[in-house]
Amino acid sequence: MQISLANKSAIVTGSGRGIGHAIAETLAKAGASVLLTDIDEAALGEAKATIEAAVAAEKSPAKLSTITGDLTAPNFPESVIAKALKDFGSLDIIVNNAGYTWDSVIQKTTDEQFQAMLDIHVVAPFRILRAAAPWLRETAKKEIEAGKIVIRKVVNITSISGLGGNAGQAGYSSGKAAIVGLTKTLAKEWGRYNVAVNAVGFGLIDTRLTRPMENAETNIAIGDRQVRVGMQSQVREQAERSIPLGRTGTPQDAANTVLFFCSPLSDYVTGEVLVCGGGIRF
């Protein structure tokens, strides 16, 4: 079955690289116009160029737009929603993907570190969705009054760390658990507006956040802060051995799962968490 998102518009946060890039490209190839957002302007520009080439090859009608900024800045989420509505005239899909890891055992986790994980993984998505609420509600009311039903989608990104916990990730696991609560609450609040709200929980997906520290970029810039990312080789190898499908996931594997929730195939699914982890247990 060919999944078409033609005439749909989407926001994908953290789409400058990795999973976010793959999600944005997958939605655009399916026909959706996509607003790419990222804190890294250079990465965002490269992602836009790559996706434009993929869209052209697919002869997709998708249009692309970008906005650069820090999602944890209190007013930036409102700017993201305003930009999407200005550029596309509507908003059908929101994918809250942006995030990073900043790991420590609890006795070494600072207040700043813990709060940073909450800010990016649940506070920023909350602000994005709150900013979108007025347009989504008023638009849905008009459609319903006219006897028209339009199903819109929110996909929040969680993790097996948020569902089952993970040693050394008190902040990350807490943020990823909190987004599940927000997902289930909004599914109940927004059902009346024909908005399906779901979450995808990723397992071990091969990105710079999970690659061996010895072989990968181990620091990422978050504002003025340098955060060490990656996994110890021994820990990663142990995790890989626990995956029933026998391999780590790819960004495309992750994007395909998100596509399901963005597509008409999931129009009667809301308030659910779907794990994309190759069968890994948590």
Active site residues: 172
What the block records as the tokens of 279 is: 């069968």
Residues paired with residue 231 on neighbouring β-strands, in sequence order: 212
Among 164, 169, 188, CA closest to 242: 164
Chain centroid offset of residue 217 CA: 22
Report yes or no: 253 and 270 within 8 Å, Cβ to Cβ: no
Q: Helix, strand or coil for residue 12? A: strand
Among 256, 140, 163, 269, CA closest to 205: 256
Report yes or no: 24 and 67 within 8 Å, Cβ to Cβ: no
User: Can you tell me the distance from the alpha carbon of 165 to that of 176, in angstroms, rounded to the nearest whole number?
Assistant: 9
DSSP 58-89: HT----EEEEE--TTSTTHHHHHHHHHHHHHS
Residues paired with residue 169 on neighbouring β-strands, in sequence order: 104
